[in-house]
A and B are shown apart, each in its own frame.
Chain A
Amino acid sequence: AQSVAQPEDQVNVAEGNPLTVKCTYSVSGNPYLFWYVQYPNRGLQFLLKYITGDNLVKGSYGFEAEFNKSQTSFHLKKPSALVSDSALYFCAVRDTARAAGNKLTFGGGTRVLVKP
């Protein structure tokens, strides 16, 4: 069965400092990996994805993530955090194994707090 782990419930960072949100996954087939952000009382907003190709993927609002197959990780990064980046971040995986279907499995979420 597919699973996702986000080991940190909360990440605190000062504005202007680098931001990293960690994610590891487990699948039986090849993974499709996604990051979403959720602001209060809102749905999930797509940030970026890894399907195939370059291990470093760039997404919206200056975010990027690196796919590491050997470590089964897909950490989200931003070189310089903004106060407006404060939100709840979710990592998700879709297992491309035939039996897995098209469902996304989500990590528990990491709350990011960027302090001025």
Chain B
Amino acid sequence: KAGVTQTPRYLIKTRGQQVTLSCSPISGHRSVSWYQQTPGQGLQFLFEYFSETQRNKGNFPGRFSGRQFSNSRSEMNVSTLELGDSALYLCASRSPSGPQETQYFGPGTRLLVL
């Protein structure tokens, strides 16, 4: 099975711009979560989508949003970028709940805000 793919891998933006990141989960997985990784704050949960519905949201401002499509692909959007948004954004594809449950991560999108 192909793993989780994320595009683009690297992105440079300037303050005030907006950005859209894309994630394609493992085939058959319907849950996609997004995490932000920074040296200062570590790994923090952004939100989770399941069957095109946001099920859970972390403690991030409304500038961070996402959506999921009917094929389970997900996008996250950050508007009005700030310097502090520079981070590695990781997408995770989750297998169904129960004994087999595991979140598998993509390679990430590294965002640099100048």
A interface vs B, CB < 8 Å? 32, 34, 36, 41-46, 49, 51-53, 90, 92, 94, 101-109
Contacts and interface: CB of A to CB of B under 8 A. Distances in A.
Given A102-B55, A103-B33, A51 B101 contact: yes
Interface string B90-114: 1010100111011111111010000
B56 interface: yes
A103 B48 contact: yes
Contacts of A36: 105
Interface of B: 4, 6, 31, 33, 35, 42-43, 45, 48, 50, 55-56, 58, 90, 92, 94, 97-99, 101-108, 110
Given A34-B102, A92-B43, 12 more contacts: A34-B103, A36-B105, A41-B110, A44-B105, A51-B99, A51-B101, A102-B97, A103-B56, A104-B35, A104-B45, A104-B103, A109-B43
A106 B102 contact: no
A116 to B, nearest CB: 27
A103 B60 CA distance: 14
The 3 closest A-B pairs by CB, nearest first: A101-B56, A106-B43, A44-B105
Q: Which of B33, B43, B99, B110 has the most CB of A within 10 A?
A: B43
Contacts of B101: 32, 49, 51, 94
